[in-house]
Amino acid sequence: MSIRERLSGNEAVAVAMRQINPDVMPAFPITPSTEIPQYFSAFVANGQVDTAFVPVESEHSAMSAAIGAEAAGARTLTATSSCGLALMWEELYVAASDRLPIALALVNRALSGPININCDHSDAMGARDAGWIQIFSESNQEAYDNFVQAYRIAEHKDVRLPIMICQDGFITSHAVENIELIEDDKVKAFVGEYCPENYLLNDNGTMAVGPYAIPAYYMETKRAQLEALKNAKKVALEVAEEFEKISGRKYGLFETYKTEDADYIMIIMGSAAGTGKEAVDELRAEGKKVGLLKIRLFRPFPSEEIANAIKHVKYIACMDRTESFNGHSGPIGNDVRTALYNAKADCEVINYVYGIGGRDVTVESLKSVYEALMEIEKTGDVGERYHYLSLRD
Amino acid sequence: MSKSFKDIKETNTWKELTEGCNIYEGATSKYFNTGEWRVDTPIFIEEKCKQCLLCIPVCPDSSIPVKDMKRLDFDYDHCKGCGICVKVCPFGAIEMKKGEN
């Protein structure tokens, strides 16, 4: 029997970490992810885990220590947010190219400036080219479930890459929700032991991790790294299937909500997907054919799969909780348009920047996005394709 | 994918390289003749040497072999000619010579 609880998203992730019982956790506190190492260090102090907790002096050191520990052969995780992730920037690339399956709980928060501690995805989006697997969660339940699945994806022999499990700062990290936890022994059996083939503290063979690669090797190494990341799609689906057996909860690369007969679709990621589903329900009640696609796996991007799911739809709104400063599109807008272009789909795509720096995302505001799509169909005038939602204009 | 260091070659395809270009052997630097980077060359003057061995720990490239507690002549396959040993020698038993040899 699963355990019914009520937990904040941070606490839920800390519980998943306790159940995983990793070897090493180096961490440095930053709002709004601070509670994760805080709860976890209590588990360490109480003797509930065998983890070596390393209170480092910065996030640069946290990720450096994680790289060292993981390369040594230890299952390692950490947590951070916003500027903390930014301070890890160099090490994120090293962790990925050295093929170290570290797990990171990212609690999404705006990057400065202006300085702001509230939710948006600018931190994760800044790291989207680092080579990490990135999974986004809508709710506390999803943050917990995704974290339980993280190592099975990251440590898979065809992948061996670090993984970032993202949830929205304060919205899910601090809000307490009902949640179903899986029993400790079931999680332990599901996650399994970490048995890397090669690691630095192996008595039976020396190795060098992260050697210098001259131009004759760098490009081939990166291509091989890409292949490993692409493999994460298939592995994530296999792991989700097994996870369903112990939890009864189903996960895919993305979730579609009432999209089958939809004429208007919103593509969104993170907690606002829940608000979007409510907007869909209200508009459906008025007879409007609207649907929603929530991205779970953002890196690698399920390009063909998403294109196949939406290419029949005429009007699409891509929702980006970040500003990309290219002047025409956000990251989701870019990726979805490329996917549709490659699939030779004929869809009208508009792109919104929403909810950045913690700007409220309401059912009404997301309904207005669908209404804008309907207006485009009615007037035949797409107009500007890049908008700010709920902006004082 | 071979895991032997000797099979890592510039003709490898991306499928043939080790994961992350990792190397599954130790002390492989000895296979690289980094001595060819040298511009100036230290010369060991054996008759002036008192075998104090101060030059050994300061060599950044472990290019002064030691046998039976005595230093031998330089390992010119790996000495890059930095000249630190010349500075540290109290007896003038190492001299820097212009040129690679």
List, for residues B48-71, the tens digit of each pLDDT value.
999 999 999 999 999 999 999 999
Mutate to test the interface with A, among B10, B21, B34 (most CBs of A within 10 A): B21
A3-7: long-range contacts, CB 8 A cutoff, minimum separation 24: A3/A180, A3/A181, A3/A182, A3/A183, A4/A178, A4/A179, A4/A180, A4/A181, A5/A178, A5/A179, A5/A180, A5/A181, A6/A176, A6/A177, A6/A178, A6/A179, A7/A140, A7/A144, A7/A176, A7/A177, A7/A179, A7/A181
Contacts of B19 in chain A (CB under 8 A): 99, 160, 198, 224, 228
Q: Does B19 touch chain A (CB under 8 A)?
A: yes
Domain count, chain A: 2
Q: In the prediction, which pLDDT does A247 show? A: 97
Mutate to test the interface with B, among A217, A219, A227 (most CBs of B within 10 A): A217
Q: Which of A324, A330, A311 is nearest to A268 (CA)?
A: A330
Residues B1 and B24 in one domain: yes
Residues A382 and A332 in one domain: yes
Q: Does B11 touch chain A (CB under 8 A)?
A: no
Q: Which of A115, A186, A176 is nearest to A143 (CA)?
A: A176
Half-sphere CA count of A21, side-chain side, radius 13 A:
16
Q: H or E segment at A316?
A: strand A315-320
We report the CATH number of the domain holding residue A45 as 3.40.50.970
Residues B25 and B48 in one domain: no
Q: In the prediction, which pLDDT does B30 show? A: 87
Beta carbon pairs, A and B, within 8 Å: 56
User: Tokens at residue A23, please?
Assistant: 């070897």
pLDDT tens per residue across span A271-305:
999 999 999 999 999 999 999 999 999 999 999 99
Q: In the prediction, which pLDDT does A174 show? A: 98
Residues B53 and B72 in one domain: yes
Give the pLDDT band (50/70/90) at residue B3.
confident
Contact B23 A207 (CB under 8 A): yes
Residues B14 and B40 in one domain: no
Residues A276 and A192 in one domain: no
Three-class DSSP labels, chain B: CCCCHHHCCCCCCCCCCCHHHCECCCCHHHHCCHHHHCCEEEEECHHHCCCCCCHHHHCCCCCCCEECCEECCCCCCCCCCCCHHHHHCCCCCEEEEECCC
> Which residue range forms the structural domain that includes residue A166?
3-247
Residue A36 lies in a domain: yes
Amino acid at A175: A
Q: In the prediction, which pLDDT does A7 show? A: 98
pTM above 0.90, yes or no: yes
Contact B20 A97 (CB under 8 A): yes
